[in-house]
Each structure stands twice: as structure tokens, then as C-alpha cells.
């Protein structure tokens, strides 16, 4: 431990564990190996690699360069968004039917957004998981996750939907917070006030420069209450949990992700969040090595962020107007023939206008629902009923990939040609895109009936950047290498290998084998 944290921090951790432990009794869990997962939401792989190389995150850099931890690339599957990842990690669900962070839900008949508690609760209730399969079942805790996933506590998005539930759990959630605080109240309030004032000034300056205030009020609230108060609370609770012996803890650090959306992934504000979190990670690690039995900490990212150039800024129009209005653009005969795939046009097709179409701007990709039917439209139906929408999407220079269902599979229209998953290597894609991720997405789309009839991906416009559809400056969920290449970092002493991950459900299985089942051998786990 001396190679990773300095003697002062070790002394602090011993005193902290002694002080908190003397006031809070331990839990009665007998598991010998205990787990803390620290989820660095949205942090690009390149940022963490730079932090290790340059020492911009001193603790994290020492953790890797000392040899105490291994760090490897990971591919979690498509789409590259938090709901999909958490369903796979926490529940082990391979096809959760979660197409984005925001979409039009065919069953509910309305748009849903995963930062809306009632929506998160509705989606979690139908994930189809069985009791006892969650990584957090049997006493685990979660902080800032979207789904409760059988955690004993209730600090996730889906549980905030019920005020009665939150009030009933208030005492449990706040147990140990005052005892475990690392700052005295007055200095903390001064620091919070200073942060709030600086955030207000920055928001005002930014909105005036952009001449757009549409997201700035909610962003200011997020900066003060979620990123400062919320993270401080979750960080303290995680340390208290380790002292008490909670068997598994899932801690989501979402500050970088929030800032990257609103200011860009390479902005100084976003990079400051990485430097800020490094000292918190050091405290978590110091406590994990002081308590008995100790905790294994696994650090990971779920996706990356790319610079986003909003299509509204480029064209003066929202995506919906570009797709649904204007002169029709004919489909080429090659595209028409490939989408029909040897079939005639469907008989008795209505040629009426779309029935209340919905265009959901999900960052740098978009779900387009041309009807509100419960079943998505297939390629032949699109050619028959909405050829002008298809034509506009395929021919617009800011749209790099158009994905649609064809029969029981999916295809991508790229550069005016149609490609199946196994043909993506020959598609004329920009080098920014991950061909592996594009092919994976085409294989996943048939398992996502709630995804749009068309799924559109913004064209690559610069190194590490794409056209975006939402009004934001950093996006994810698309199919670039930056968004889909993730990172996992784990203790070398762990009795399971966490390298070469190709899907988030593999991580669920391997961690479950050590921290829940404890029966399978390392060879069996590595082969899964």
C-alpha cells in the first residue's frame, strides 16, 4: 500500500476507520471477499490513459504504474449508454431492450427519460430479471445507479419515484453520514457556497456566449446539488459502508458525464472533474485497505464521450424538420432493391401521412418512430410507406449511418449502400467509427423492439467528434471508437481475470462467481 498512498493518508484512514467504527456497529455478513465497484460514468479511455501517463490523476496513476492494478480495454456491447450497461452489469441481462437514455416507449405510449424517476421505475419493473440474480442482492448498496437491482438501500433513480418510500428509508440512508463526514460543517458550507457562486458565474458566461439558455438552469442545479452535495454524500456513505461490512457496493461517479454533455468532453471543466475525483478515489482505496476484511475495488467506465456539433447549429433546423419536411428525395434503385431483399412491396399499404411521428434526439444518435404502433416497422414497410423520409435520411451529409430492421435482422445504410453485420468491414466508414461496434449494433437491434423504426447516427466531422442531434457539446451512445472503447481496472491479486471483456454480462458473471457464488474455479470463470 505504501507505493500507492502516502503515510499521511494511511494514518488518516486508520483514524477514520477507528472513529467511525467505534460509533457504528458492523453488519452480520460473513463473506470473506467484499466488493466496491467505482463506475466513472462517461470517461473516455484516452483520458484515463493520459492521466496514468502524465500523472494528472496522481493516485490513479500510481495505482496502475505500481503494478498493484491491471488496466485493460473493455467492450460492453451496443448501444454505448448507461442503461444498457447497468442492466448487463447488475442483472446479467444480455438483451435488456434499452435503446438509449431517452426514447419513445411503445408500451407506455410516451417518451421516457432515464433521469426521470417514474420512467426509471417503469423500465426497471419490466427488465425481466429474477430474484437473487443481481450483483447487489443479499445486502448490497447502490449509489446513483439507475436501477435498484435488489440493493438494500434506496438511493438510485428508480426508487426516488416514491416519496413515501424515500421517507421511510430516510433514517437508514443517512445513518453514519454525520459520523463519517470528512469535513467540519462550517468549512464544508463555505466550500459549497464558493462552488455554487463560481458555477453560477460560469453558467451565466457560457449561456451568453452561446446565446442559448435552454439547459443552463437544470445544469446549474445539477452542479450544486448532484455533483457537489450528492457526490459528497455518496462518497461518505461508501466509506461508512466499508467500515460496517456491506458485502457489495456500487458507486457511480457521474460528475464528468454531466459536465461533458454541457461543456464538451475535452473542456477544462470536464478535465477538472477527473482531477477532483482522484483524491476521493484515494480515500476510498485507503479505507478499503484498512478495514478487515478488506475490499476489492474495481474501477470501470461504461462508455466514452465525443465532441458533438449539433445539427441545429450546422443547418439552422432540428432533425425532425430535416426528416419530415421539405422536398422528397427519391431512394436509389440499389437501396430500394436491397431493402426489399427480393420481396414485392407489401400489399394494401396505406400511403397516408405518418401517424404522429416522434423523433427522439438521443445525443449523437436518434430514434425515429414513424408510427406509434407497438411493433416497429420493417424495411419493406418503410420503402412502401415512407420512402421520402428514408431518402432524406440516406442523402443528408450529416447522417453517417441509417440502421433499419430487415426481415428478422438489421442492416445499415452507409454511403448509399446497404450492409449486413458481417459486411461492415467493407463499408465506406470514417476511421472514427468502430466497425466492431457497428456490426454489434446491427446484431442487437432486432432484440430492441422499443428502438426507433430508423436509428440514425451522426457523421464524423473531426478527429474525435461527430454531428449531434441533441443540443449538447459532448455526446455518447453512438458507434465511434471513442464511445464504445471502455476501461476496466482491477487488483492483480483478484482470483479472476477481468481482461478481454466483450460484453457487460461477462463482467456480471465473473464478479458474481467471486463475490456471490464463490464456487466456480478461475478456469471456469475465464472461459465464460
Domain check: are 333 and 348 in the same one? yes
DSSP SS3 for 17: helix
User: For residue 1, is it within any domain?
Assistant: no
What integer pLDDT is reported at residue 527 of this predicted model? 45
Domain check: are 163 and 40 in the same one? yes
Mean pLDDT along residues 164-185: 70
Q: Are 383 and 331 in contact (CB under 8 A)?
A: yes
Q: Are 354 and 452 in contact (CB under 8 A)?
A: no
Peptide bond into 49 cis (omega under 30): no
User: For residue 236, is it within any domain?
Assistant: yes
CA angle 240, 241, 246 (to 5 degrees): 160
What integer pLDDT is reported at residue 208 of this predicted model? 82
- 135 or 201, which is more confident? 135
- 83 or 233, which is more confident? 83
C-alpha closest to that of 396 among 369, 418, 416, 419 = 416
Q: State the pLDDT confidence band at 521, using cuts at 50, 70 and 90.
A: very low
Q: Are 394 and 383 in contact (CB under 8 A)?
A: no
Say whether pLDDT at 225 is over 90. no
What integer pLDDT is reported at residue 355 of this predicted model? 76
Mean pLDDT along residues 3-26: 90
User: For residue 270, is it within any domain?
Assistant: yes
Q: Are 139 and 152 in contact (CB under 8 A)?
A: yes
Q: Cα separation of 36 and 251, whole Å?
A: 7
Q: Are 322 and 311 in contact (CB under 8 A)?
A: yes
Contact residues for 520 (Cβ-Cβ < 8 A; gap 6+): 513
Q: Cα separation of 369 and 485, whole Å?
A: 29
What integer pLDDT is reported at residue 290 of this predicted model? 95
Q: What is the radius of gyration, based on Cα positions, of the chain?
A: 24
DSSP per position, 58-85 = HHHHHHHHTSSEEEEEE---SS-SHHHH
Q: Cα separation of 303 and 486, whole Å?
A: 5
Bridge partners of residue 466, in order along the sequence: 308, 460
Say whether pLDDT at 211 is over 60. yes
Domain range holding 345? Answer: 309-475
Q: State the pLDDT confidence band at 363, using cuts at 50, 70 and 90.
A: very high
How far is CA 252 from its chain centroid? Answer: 10
Q: State the pLDDT confidence band at 33, using cuts at 50, 70 and 90.
A: confident
Q: How far is CA 457 from CA 308, 346, 363, 394, in A?
A: 12, 27, 9, 11
Q: Cα separation of 456 and 435, whole Å?
A: 16
Domain check: are 255 and 115 in the same one? yes
Q: State the pLDDT confidence band at 349, using cuts at 50, 70 and 90.
A: low
Identify the domain boundary among 456, 475, 494.
475
Domain check: are 272 and 177 in the same one? yes
Domains in the chain, number: 2
Domain check: are 195 and 229 in the same one? yes
Q: State the pLDDT confidence band at 528, using cuts at 50, 70 and 90.
A: very low
For 115, counting Cβ atoms within 10 Å of its Cβ (0-12 exposed, 13-18 middle, 19+ buried), the class is: middle
Q: State the pLDDT confidence band at 356, using cuts at 50, 70 and 90.
A: confident
Q: Cα separation of 399 and 251, whole Å?
A: 36
Helix boundaries (H) for 228-305: 231-244, 255-263, 268-290
Domain check: are 319 and 408 in the same one? yes
Domain check: are 260 and 375 in the same one? no
Q: How far is CA 291 from CA 15, 58, 63, 287, in A?
A: 11, 23, 19, 6
Helix boundaries (H) for 345-493: 379-385, 387-395, 435-444, 481-484
Domain check: are 24 and 106 in the same one? yes
Amino acid at each position: 500500500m505504501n507505493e500507492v498512498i502516502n503515510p499521511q493518508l494511511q494514518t488518516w484512514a486508520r483514524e477514520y476507520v477507528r472513529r467511525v467504527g467505534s460509533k457504528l456497529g458492523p453488519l452480520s455478513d460473513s463473506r470473506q471477499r467484499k466488493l466496491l465497484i467505482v463506475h466513472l460514468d462517461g470517461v473516455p479511455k484516452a483520458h484515463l490513459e493520459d492521466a496514468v501517463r502524465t500523472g494528472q490523476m496522481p493516485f490513479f496513476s500510481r495505482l496502475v504504474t505500481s503494478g498493484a492494478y491491471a488496466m485493460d480495454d473493455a467492450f460492453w456491447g451496443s448501444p454505448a449508454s448507461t442503461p444498457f450497461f447497468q442492466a448487463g452489469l447488475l442483472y446479467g441481462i444480455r438483451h435488456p431492450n434499452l435503446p438509449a437514455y431517452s426514447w419513445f416507449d411503445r408500451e407506455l405510449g410516451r417518451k421516457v427519460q432515464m433521469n426521470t424517476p417514474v420512467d426509471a421505475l417503469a423500465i426497471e419493473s419490466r427488465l425481466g430479471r429474477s430474484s437473487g440474480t443481481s450483483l447487489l442482492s443479499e445486502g448490497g448498496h447502490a449509489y446513483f445507479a439507475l436501477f435498484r437491482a435488489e440493493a438494500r438501500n434506496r438511493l438510485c433513480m428508480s426508487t426516488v419515484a416514491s416519496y413515501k418510500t424515500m421517507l421511510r428509508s430516510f433514517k437508514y440512508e443517512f445513518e453514519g453520514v454525520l459520523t463519517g463526514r470528512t469535513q467540519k460543517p462550517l468549512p464544508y458550507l463555505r466550500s459549497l457556497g464558493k462552488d455554487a457562486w463560481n458555477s453560477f458565474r460560469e453558467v451565466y458566461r457560457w449561456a451568453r456566449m452561446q446565446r442559448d439558455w435552454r439547459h443552463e438552469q437544470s445544469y446549474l442545479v445539477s452542479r450544486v446539488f448532484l455533483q457537489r452535495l450528492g457526490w459528497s454524500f455518496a462518497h461518505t456513505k461508501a466509506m461508512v459502508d466499508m467500515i460496517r461490512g456491506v458485502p457489495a457496493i456500487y458507486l457511480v461517479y457521474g460528475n464528468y458525464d454531466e459536465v461533458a454533455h454541457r461543456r464538451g468532453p475535452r473542456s477544462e471543466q470536464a478535465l477538472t472533474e477527473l482531477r477532483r475525483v482522484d483524491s476521493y478515489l484515494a480515500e476510498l482505496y485507503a479505507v478499503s485497505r484498512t478495514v478487515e476484511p478488506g475490499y476489492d475495488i474495481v474501477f470501470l467506465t461504461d462508455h466514452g464521450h465525443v465532441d458533438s456539433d449539433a445539427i441545429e447549429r450546422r443547418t439552422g433546423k432540428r432533425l425532425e424538420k430535416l426528416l419530415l419536411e421539405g422536398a422528397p428525395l427519391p431512394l436509389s434503385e440499389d437501396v430500394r432493391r436491397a431493402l426489399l431483399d427480393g420481396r414485392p412491396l407489401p400489399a394494401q399499404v396505406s400511403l397516408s401521412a405518418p401517424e404522429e411521428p416522434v423523433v427522439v434526439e438521443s445525443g449523437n444518435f436518434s430514434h425515429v418512430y414513424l408510427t406509434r404502433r407497438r411493433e416497429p416497422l420493417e424495411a419493406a414497410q418503410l420503402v412502401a410507406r415512407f420512402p421520402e423520409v428514408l431518402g432524406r435520411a440516406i442523402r443528408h451529409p450529416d447522417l453517417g449511418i441509417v440502421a433499419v430492421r430487415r426481415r428478422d435482422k438489421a442492416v445499415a445504410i452507409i454511403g448509399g449502400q446497404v450492409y449486413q453485420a458481417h459486411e461492415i468491414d467493407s463499408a465506406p466508414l470514417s476511421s472514427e467509427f468502430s466497425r466492431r461496434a457497428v456490426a454489434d449494433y446491427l446484431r442487437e437491434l432486432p432484440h430492441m423492439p422499443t428502438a426507433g423504426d430508423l436509428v440514425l447516427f451522426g457523421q464524423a466531422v473531426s478527429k474525435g467528434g461527430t454531428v449531434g442531434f441533441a443540443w449538447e457539446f459532448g455526446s455518447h451512445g453512438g458507434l465511434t471508437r471513442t464511445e464504445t472503447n471502455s476501461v476496466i481496472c482491477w487488483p492483480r491479486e483478484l482470483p479472476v481475470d477481468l481482461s478481454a471483456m466483450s460484453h457487460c454480462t461477462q463482467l456480471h458473471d465473473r464478479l458474481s462467481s467471486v463475490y456471490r457464488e464463490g464456487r466456480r474455479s478461475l478456469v471456469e470463470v475465464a472461459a465464460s
